[in-house]
Structures are given as structure tokens and as C-alpha cells.
Amino acid sequence: MTNASEVLSSIQSAFPGAVLDSRVESDRRLWATIDSKKILDVCKHLTNKLNFDHYSGSAGVDWIARNEMEVVEIMASHGAHKVVAMLKVKTPRENPSVKSLTGLYWNANWYEREIWEMFGINFEGHPELYPLLLSDQLIGSWPWRKDFKGYPDLTTGERAVAITTPEGYTEYRFPPTPAEVEAGTVVAERPKYPTFREREEREIKSDSEMIMHLGPQHAMVPGPFLLDVLVEGERVKKGFLDVGYIHKGIEKIMENRTWLQGIVYTDRMCYVASLSNNECYCGAVEKILGLEVPERAQYIRVILEELSRIQSHLIGTGEFLTLVAGVGYAPWQYMIIDRERIISLIESVTGARLTHTFVRFGGVRNDLPDDFAEKCKTTLPYIKSRVNEFIELFAQDAIYQKRMENVGVLSAEDAKRVGIAGPALRASGVAYDMRVEDPILVYPDLDFKVIVGTKGDCADRVDCRLREILESIHIIEQCLDRIPAGPIKPEAKIPKKVPAGEAYYRVEDPRGEMGMYVISDGGDKPYRVKVRGPFYATLQTLPPLLEGVYIADVVAIAGSMDGCPSEADR
């Protein structure tokens, strides 16, 4: 099995002088600074020779003190080995520019677009360097640079000036005040690019084609995103996605909050997966601090994260059914009722229903209440029987099967190529689960199967999710049997300042691979937090998946992905 030092020596021997700096953190983590001229070759080498077939994302970092910027490429493998390579490429702060990886990895597109709009780092060879999350007014201010002065407050209605457009519509503009121009908070020169509207209208080739809007508001999807489809007759020819409607800038907010306060913000990225987000952030910080988590706390974390997975899958499946079937046939209510029991279980430990702020550096906030195991003993078998019922229900319903089978098929190769994760990837038959790939806490001691599907269609994705609930119940039962007595927090006080360092930590979110890249400069606040969310990757794969399907299948495919735009936008 390949380990990190072997990967490093392989790069070094293939490209002498390309590795400027390197650190082998463990068998699974390699940090290397690569010569910016050689990055494409190194990535090619990793993919072709060393099985790094999973481009997991990239992050931008502004090192203002060193007067340079960094792009960190996160590379992993779909099961061939367990090394995650963090390859850094440096570029000066004036006119920052690095080579684009879009030619090698299809899914590098969005990650690089995001870095461009946030940091202003140009990607040479990127086919469509357009804004992704930010609104057009903000482009050019590069808000995630460390010297960003803040944007003028445009929220007050009094500043709005009504303008009549040539088409006769009234639009409102917010001109900056002279003071703001002087302070430099206004973008002096905005880059030129075609707007989203222009880009999609460019694609209309004949009179028989038109663009149909789905969203940004949809009654059932928990967060807003705009999905425009170019249709000809009943068929979709192309899909366009516009995201960023609930971009909250959480990564930037966390740079301005203390380490402890950051936990609160991870909750708000995705409220149905707040426990795994907590875990991801705290795990990364624990890695930098070198903290050991007491065993009891580890078990409590696993129990709660699995409970959270169950409730997330229940709500995800319920939402999906409402999307495909309206109200006539919708076990949504049943799933919500069942989910309520899981929520009460979690609430009895954490004290909150959705935003738990429960995991702490080196431990957890509360111990399990005395009657927790007992409550689990009544609730879990009930959920198990219900889920089995749901599985049976779907398996024997002819309408459901006609509607779902062989719709939105994602083959294993394609699924790997587009970088999708979680149940959507496993439904295609790729057993890729962070609980096995990058085991944390007590997961290595627990016995569980990674659920995989066979075909990768909508029915498979839903089925995978339901069967994962059964697997989670199995995990929780084991944990309850084994959980030892003992402390739930480290004895020493957690320091307010975290020593300088960096860490990348991955957990299996209900939606897939959630990774956080945390950098500390030794202060009481994080220097940079990058969230690599699972739904970001899933959302990116939607447009190609929709090409050629019927309009009626669009919601089925989008719904079967179990989305949370809030986490994609952050």
C-alpha cells in the first residue's frame, strides 16, 4: 500500500527540483510545495502513476506578510490508497496567476472559479472564469484577501436610485458615497465577463429551444439555487446553475472569530448535518493542537454523528419523495414523524434540535443522560422496522420504479471523474466512505459495511441512503454496548491561542466527503478556514447529468442528490 513518503519520493525522482518544500505529516497526509511551472506535470504523474484519481478541491490562501498567495490542491484516491496530497503552488501577490487544472480534472472548474472571485488569483487556461458565489457588484474587490477593506453598506433602502432600463423595467442602483470612494471600499475597476443571463442565452440555437427556470425558490428544497434548463420539446439540452443565493461568507467570518466561536458557525453551514460539521472543524483544530480525545467522548461523538446521519437521510428521502410525487403519494410526513424521534434523542444529549454546537476541542459538551441507552433501545428498533418498511414499499411500487429506475444514471467512471461523493457516489458502485478511507475517532474498531449500489440511478441513490440508516443503527448499537466510563473532556484547559500549523481533516457527512483545511498563525483566531463541502461537488455535476433527460425527470434527479445549497454556498 502506498504511503505519503513513497508518494513524495516518487514525485521527487520523477521531477527533480519540483518539490520546493515538503512535510510528511503521517502515512495519510503529504504536504508539498510544488514549483508552479511543474504543477500540471506533477498532477498528471500522480493521477497516471500513483492512482490519485480523486481531485478533491482546492483552497486559496493569502499570505499577506510574505507577499504571496497560495493555491492548495487537495488530491486523493478513490480507494486505491489512503494518502491525501496537499500540493501548494505559490504566486506573488501582484498579478497572482497559476496554472489551471481544469484540463486534467473536470471538477476543478468551480473550485478555481471560487478562488478567482474571492482572491483574484487568475487561472491560466480556465475556460470560464466567471463569478460563482458572489454577486456582480462584489467582483473585483477580492473579499477574502487579508487587506479587504469591507464593502460599502448597501443595505439601506434610502441610498437606492431608481433607473429605468431601455426595456422599460425599473432597476435600483446603489451609488457609493464620496467617502467610500476615498476609503477604497468601492471596486474601482470591475473585470469584464458575460453575465449568467448572457451566457445561457448564448446557447439558444434555434426557435424551438427555450430556457426554463427552476428556482431559485422552490417550495421543497431547503435552500435557494437557480437551475435553468435549455429545453427543446420535452428534452433538456443543457443545464445551467447559478448558486450563491445564500452565500454567507462563513469562511471569512470564522477568520474574525475566536477558535471557540468558530464552532457555532459550522453549525450554520448545513443545519441537518451540523454535528458532522462540528466534528470536522474541531477535529482539524485538535490535530493542530495535538489533542487526544478521551475514549468516552469519542464514542459519544460517533453515536451522535450517526444519529444525525439517520435524521438527515430521513429528511433527505422525504424531501425527495415530495419533489417527485407532490402530495398524492408522499411518505414525507411519515419520515418527518420518525425523524422527530431521532431529533428528540439528539436533543436529550445536546439540548438543541438542529444547531448543536456540541463537539468541543478535545471532547464534547455534555455527557449522555442516564436513560439514553434505554431510549435508544426503544427508538432504534422502531426506526429499523420503519426503514425496512420504506425499502419494501419502494421496491414493490410499480409507479415509483417506472419513474426512478434508469433515470439519471451515473456510471462508476463518471462518478469518480466528476468528484461526486457520499451516497450518490456509492450508489454507482464505488465504495468510498470517509469512515473507512480516513478513519477518525473509534470508527476503525466498529463493524459496519459500506453500502453500495449497482446502477447509480435515482432509485439506487435513495435505496443507498435508506440502507445506510440501517447500518448507522448497527453502529450506534455497538457503541452503546462498548462505551466506557470516563471523562468527556481533556483535563488540561484548552489554550485560547492555537500554535501555528495547518491541518486537513475529513469526515463522512450525510452527503459525503466533508473536509476542512484549517490554518493557524499562532493567534487566537484561525488564519484561514477552507470548507470543502460535499454538496458543492454534487451540485457541480448536476448540469451534465441533466443533459438529454425529460423535463419531468429533472426534479427527480436533482432531488435524489439530497441537496443542501446552504452548505454549498457557505
Considering the rule CB under 8 A, would residue 260 count as an interface residue with another protein? Answer: yes
Comparison of 128 and 340: residue with beta carbon closer to another protein: 340
Nine-digit cell at 12? 521527487
Considering the rule CB under 8 A, would residue 354 count as an interface residue with another protein? Answer: no
Q: Which residues ranging from 395 to 454 are in contact with another protein (CB under 8 A)?
A: 396-399
Comparison of 37 and 353: residue with beta carbon closer to another protein: 353
Beta partners for residue 211, in sequence order: 230
Comparison of 348 and 388: residue with beta carbon closer to another protein: 348
Cβ burial 499-517 (10 Å sphere, 16+ → b, else e) = eebbbbbbbbbbbbbbbbb
Considering the rule CB under 8 A, would residue 351 count as an interface residue with another protein? Answer: yes
Q: How many Å apart are CA 272 and CA 514, to the nearest integer? A: 14
Asked if 292 contacts 363 with a C-beta cutoff of 8 angstroms, the reply is: no
Beta partners for residue 514, in sequence order: 507
Tell me the H-state helices in 290-411. Answer: 295-325, 332-350, 372-395, 398-404
Considering the rule CB under 8 A, would residue 171 count as an interface residue with another protein? Answer: no
Q: For another protein, how many residues bind (rule: CB under 8 A)?
A: 31
Beta partners for residue 533, in sequence order: none
In whole angstroms, the minimum distance from the beta carbon of 380 to another protein comes to 18
Q: Of 224, 281, 216, which Cα lies nearest the Cα of 250?
A: 281
In whole angstroms, the minimum distance from the beta carbon of 351 to another protein comes to 4
Residue span binding another protein (CB under 8 A) among the ranges 81-89, 236-244, 256-264, 532-540 = 256-264
Transcribe 533-551 into DSSP letters.
Answer: -HHHHHHHHHHHHHTT-BH
Q: Of 82, 61, 83, which Cα lies nearest the Cα of 11?
A: 83
In whole angstroms, the minimum distance from the beta carbon of 81 to another protein comes to 39
Considering the rule CB under 8 A, would residue 393 count as an interface residue with another protein? Answer: yes
Q: SS3 sequence, 166-220?
A: CCCCEEEECCCCHHHHHHCCCCCCCCCCCCHHHHHHHCCCCCCEEEEEECCCCCC
Asked if 234 contacts 550 with a C-beta cutoff of 8 angstroms, the reply is: yes
Single residue of 334, 384, 391, 417 touching another protein by CB under 8 A = 334
Single residue of 336, 373, 436, 551 touching another protein by CB under 8 A = 336
Comparison of 97 and 348: residue with beta carbon closer to another protein: 348
Residue span binding another protein (CB under 8 A) among the ranges 390-398, 442-450, 451-459, 543-551 = 390-398
Considering the rule CB under 8 A, would residue 210 count as an interface residue with another protein? Answer: no
Helix 295-325 × helix 332-350 angle, to 10°:
160
Single residue of 36, 122, 137, 355 touching another protein by CB under 8 A = 355
Site string for another protein, 288-327 (x = CB under 8 A): ----------------------------------------
Considering the rule CB under 8 A, would residue 337 count as an interface residue with another protein? Answer: yes
Pairing of strands 54-63, 68-76: antiparallel
Comparison of 109 and 274: residue with beta carbon closer to another protein: 274
Single residue of 159, 199, 257, 417 touching another protein by CB under 8 A = 257
In whole angstroms, the minimum distance from the beta carbon of 127 to another protein comes to 40
Q: Which residues ranging from 100 to 159 are in contact with another protein (CB under 8 A)?
A: none
Q: Which residues ranging from 360 to 379 are in contact with another protein (CB under 8 A)?
A: 360, 365-366, 369
In whole angstroms, the minimum distance from the beta carbon of 274 to another protein comes to 11
Single residue of 204, 246, 264, 450 touching another protein by CB under 8 A = 264
Q: How many Å apart are CA 382 and CA 387, to the nearest integer? A: 9
Considering the rule CB under 8 A, would residue 349 count as an interface residue with another protein? Answer: yes
Pairing of strands 97-99, 84-92: unpaired
The helix/strand/coil state of 376 is helix
Helix 551-560 × helix 295-325 angle, to 10°:
170
Tell me the H-state helices in 438-512. Answer: 458-482
List, in order, residues 6 or more apart from 235 with CB less than 8 Å away. 548, 549, 550, 551
Considering the rule CB under 8 A, would residue 175 count as an interface residue with another protein? Answer: no
Considering the rule CB under 8 A, would residue 246 count as an interface residue with another protein? Answer: no
- Taking phi over 0 as left and psi of -120 to 50 as alpha, with beta for the rest, 57 belongs to left
In whole angstroms, the minimum distance from the beta carbon of 141 to another protein comes to 25
Residue span binding another protein (CB under 8 A) among the ranges 84-92, 113-121, 127-135, 345-353 = 345-353
Q: Of 187, 192, 200, which Cα lies nearest the Cα of 242?
A: 200
In whole angstroms, the minimum distance from the beta carbon of 331 to another protein comes to 8
Comparison of 154 and 336: residue with beta carbon closer to another protein: 336
Comparison of 196 and 334: residue with beta carbon closer to another protein: 334
List, in order, residues 6 or more apart from 205 with CB less than 8 Å away. none
Considering the rule CB under 8 A, would residue 357 count as an interface residue with another protein? Answer: yes
Chain positions contacting another protein, by CB under 8 A: 257-258, 260-261, 264-265, 267, 333-334, 336-337, 340, 344, 347-352, 355, 357, 360, 365-366, 369, 389, 393, 396-399
